[in-house]
């Protein structure tokens, strides 16, 4: 992975932590992510995993935009909206959120990612 995706930021104290560098994205729980994004919620859920992971199962209302595609401008259906980013475990979504926050985009990431989403029994679509 390219070094442009690493931030060297200090770990946060939890989902409600407001301390830390200004380019550090806030982290939220899967329950908060579902609440913010389902049924036309205030934010858009963006899955930053690769295509094979997306096809193995994803959130029905999520938009697929792999981390590897975040180097350029955001697609029109994503741009201008608050974003909630998710991946398998929370590592890539954290990198993506920090990258977007550094660009002035409102973004948070989901702690523990799709592993926790599935564990919590939240909705999933199995494409494959």
Q: Which residues does residue 52 pair with via DSSP β-bridges, in sequence order?
A: none
CA dihedral angle for residue 72, residue 78, residue 84, residue 89, rounded to 10 degrees: -50
DSSP for 79-95, please give it.
TTS-EEEE-SSSHHHHH
Q: Residue 71's CB: how many other CB atoms inside 10 A?
A: 10
Q: Which residues make beta-bridge pairs with 108?
A: 26, 84
Angle at 2 between CA 57 and CA 52, to 5 degrees: 15
Residues annotated as part of the active site: 87
């Amino acid at each position: 992975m390219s070094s442009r995706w690493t931030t060297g930021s200090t770990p946060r104290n939890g989902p409600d932590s407001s301390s830390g560098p200004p380019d550090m994205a806030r982290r939220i729980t899967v329950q908060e992510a579902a609440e913010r994004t389902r049924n036309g919620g205030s934010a858009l859920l963006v899955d930053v995993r690769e295509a094979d992971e997306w096809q193995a199962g994803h959130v029905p209302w999520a938009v697929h935009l792999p981390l590897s595609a975040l180097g350029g401008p955001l697609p029109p259906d994503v741009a201008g909206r608050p974003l909630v980013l998710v991946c398998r475990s929370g590592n890539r979504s954290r990198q993506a959120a920090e990258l977007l926050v550094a660009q002035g985009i409102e973004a948070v990431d989901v702690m523990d990612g799709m592993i926790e989403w599935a564990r919590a029994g939240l909705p999933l679509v199995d494409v494959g």
